[in-house]
Structure 1
Amino acid sequence: MKYNNYYFKLKSYARNYNINPQTKKYYNLDFAYLVELSKLDMYIRKIILELSLDVEHYLKVRLLNDLSDNSKEDGYNIVGLFLQYHRNAGADIQSKADKYSFCSDLAEKHLDEYKEPKKLAVWNIVELLSFGNFMELYELYYQTYPSFNYSDYLKSIKFIRNAAAHNNCILSTLRKPNSLKKFSKTKKLANILGKIPEFRELENRDAMMRNPVIHDFVTLLFVYNDVMKVSATKNVRNKKMEEIRHLFCDEDGRIRKNKIYFEKNPYIKESYSFICSIIKYIDKKNKNPKHTNFLQ
């Protein structure tokens, strides 16, 4: 532990275990189980970051394509509205120009003599916005020019992306979810899952989707597989999903390597089983040439 982790973080995974009220000790918990959960957490965080970075990129691509086909929009008007409604985004661009940043030169290039953002187009500003600010721009565009989009799912993706990026303990919340009082399920996703025969009869579907981490990871999986469905990216998507399926669901995959550790923990077993069923369903649909979208 001296070189790989620290006690406070490792101990957080014990939240997934019940405590004997008399002895004040955890039921069916060994130190090795905490170590294994921390390793699995690392693999899952890496997956989350890979998928969310691809989602962010291809949402930008799709937004720019939709804007190019929109005769009512020149690319500047929507940015003017955005900076009017979200002044913090303009301030963020200014701050990037003033400090050491990978995009500081680009930010400085688009400031006027008074250090205010010049007239920017969408294709300029998307390179300067944080993911949170890009979400706001994305939502504003599709509110102004309604067509199919993924706005309903972006909050969930941002939540789990940030958790993974900050090395938060994803798997420590299977029994006691964080921020449960502030969390609300995405109704569209709940309706979609309710219509899928493979999940309609699952007794624990609603319970699983009430857990913010599980809900947001499932959301990320569906959005990723939707935005990467075009011919130019489909092969990359399928290869990544094969890796994820192997990691999670195959007997020789890393997630199942020490499955015996968790045989007596219903929170971990049920969460794993649910996620694996989602991955297998997505993988099966991706192999069906008649399949189009998951979320439309």
Structure 2
Amino acid sequence: MRKKKLNYEEQIEDLKRRGITFNDFTEEEALHYLKYNNNLFKLSSYRKNYNKQLYNKAQYIHLDFGELVDLATIDMYLRRIILQMALDIEHFAKVALLRRISTSPLEDGYAIVSDYINSLAPTQLGHLQSELKRNAQSPYCHNAYQKYKDDMPVWVFIEIISFGSFISFYKYCAERFKTNDCESGNKALERDDKRMLDNFYLMLSVKQVRNASAHNNCILNDLKDKTLIARKQTSWVLNREIAKLGTGSTSRIKKISNIRISQILSCFLVYHRVVTSEEVSRKIALTLHTWVNRLYQKHDFSKNLVIKTTFNLFKSSIDNWFPIL
């Protein structure tokens, strides 16, 4: 059934019917906000973080319009940070991969690309070929593609594929290195191979939360949702590192069972593991700590344990993985 389109005055009345109060904003200020700063569909999605009254499921408990606005703002800042972090992760993962290939006497930089392409299933191969043809039309990739399309070296290939395709190639390389290193008995490199594979699983989560952020989707609007699938998809490395923060097992399981929380923390963790530039890391650390300071600037969310404990976990992870020295 289609819902009736509401004018702005009706939107305010609809929020009031849902038990949402207007203590921080007057109704006139809220109306102006909905007209010029956000929209009801997006803003009201944050109500999923709140409980409803026991005997009146149509109304929410302890939910003020100002808290919805605050969450929308905090979310907006986080999306911007995640986009920057994802760019850095992609760049430094490529740097590390090229370093590994450049120092390996078994790799010439060409065979690893052709072997990867030949390993793809027909559907995957078709997807990659379509992607390369699309990127060949870009003024930023066209010349490189035309010059190397018949025999592409790895340093060109990774620059003209998407982040998603790079992650797939990254996994192929890690498994290839692992096979070679197991045969040679090089334990140090085997540990590097395992770290690469661990980073691959973390980067899968980064890709998803990066895509959501790039499309300006809300990412902090459903922190109560918990699924077994989300818990199973969470990297064991993330689970281990969260445990090191002092998070109890019950609380940890609850948090990683929310796909949004798990993916955001995965982004934080893989950045900590992959980015090797002290200057770049320090800049993102300062940005993250500024964001943490913004979390409780206007509301302490003391009446909402879901939000409070989630924000505390984000703060703990940032304090530990991104210390400001």
Q: Smaller-chain TM-score range?
A: 0.7 to 0.9
CA distance in 2, matches of 1:139, 1:209: 23
Whether 2:168 is the aligned partner of 1:119: answer: no
The residue that corresponds to 1:70 in the other structure is 104
* 1:186 shift after superposition: 0.8
Shift of 1:3: 2.2
Residue 89 to residue 7, structure 1, CA distance change in 2 (3 Å):
same
Label 1:11 to 1:102 Cα distance change in 2 as closer, same or farther (>3 A).
farther
Deviation at 1:133, TM superposition (A): 0.3
Counterparts of 1:124 and 1:100, CA distance in 2: 14
- Number of the residue aligned with 1:58: 92
Alignment partner of 1:18 is 2:54? no
1:276 alignment partner in structure 2: 315
In 1: Cα distance, 2:86 partner to 2:170 partner? 15
Q: Counterparts of 2:212 and 2:294 in 1: how far apart (Å)?
A: 22
Mapped partners of 1:41, 1:191: distance in 2: 26
Unpaired segments ≥5 residues, structure 1: 112-117, 288-296
Kept in 1, the 8 Å contact 2:228–2:257? The answer is: no
Structure 2 letter corresponding to 1:227: V
> Is contact 2:52-2:59 (8 Å) kept?
yes
- CA distance in 2 between counterparts of 1:267 and 1:276 reads 14
Corresponding position of 2:271: 224
Distance 2:275 2:100 in 1: 16
State which of 110, 116, 130 in structure 1 corresponds to 2:162.
Answer: 130
2:29 is aligned to: none
Given the alignment of the two structures, is residue 152 of structure 1 paired with residue 186 of structure 2, yes or no? no
**1:290 equivalent in structure 2:** none
Root mean square deviation, CA, Å: 2.0
Distance change >3 Å, CA 191–CA 81, structure 1 → 2: same
Asked if structure 2 preserves the Cα contact closer than 8 Å seen for 1:94 and 1:108, the reply is: no
**TM-score where L is the length of structure 1:** 0.83
Matches within 5 A, 1:1-296: 1-23=34-56, 24-84=58-118, 85=120, 86-87=124-125, 88-97=127-136, 99=137, 102-111=140-149, 118-146=150-178, 147=193, 148-149=195-196, 150-176=199-225, 180=227, 182-183=229-230, 184-194=233-243, 196=244, 198-199=245-246, 201=248, 203-229=250-276, 233-248=277-292, 253-260=293-300, 262-284=301-323, 287=325
- List per-residue Cα deviations over 1:148-183 (Å, max 9, x = no partner): 312221111111111111111111121125xx3543
Please tell me whether the aligned partners of residues 41 and 171 of structure 1 are also in contact (alpha carbons under 8 angstroms): yes
Task: Specify the alignment match of 2:17 in structure 1.
Answer: none
The answer as to whether partners of 1:83 and 1:90 remain within 8 angstroms in 2 is no
Cα separation, 1, equivalents of 2:75 and 2:247: 29
What is the match of residue 293 of structure 1? none
Q: Relative to 1, partners in 2 of residues 1:100 and 1:54: Cα closer, same or farther, differing over 3 Å? A: closer
Larger radius of gyration: 2
Aligned counterparts of 1:222 and 1:188: Cα–Cα separation in 2: 9
Q: Which amino acid aligns with 2:91?
A: H
Equivalent AA in structure 1 for residue 263 of structure 2:
D
Q: TM-score, normalised by structure 2?
A: 0.76
Whether the 8 Å CA contact 2:78–2:291 is kept in 1: the answer is no
Contact 1:208 1:271 (C-alpha < 8 Å) held by counterparts: yes
Equivalent position amino acid for 1:236 in 2: V
Q: 1:91 Cα shift?
A: 2.3
- Report the CA distance shift for 1:280/1:121 in structure 2 as closer, same or farther (over 3 A): same
C-alpha deviation, 1:201, in angstroms: 4.2
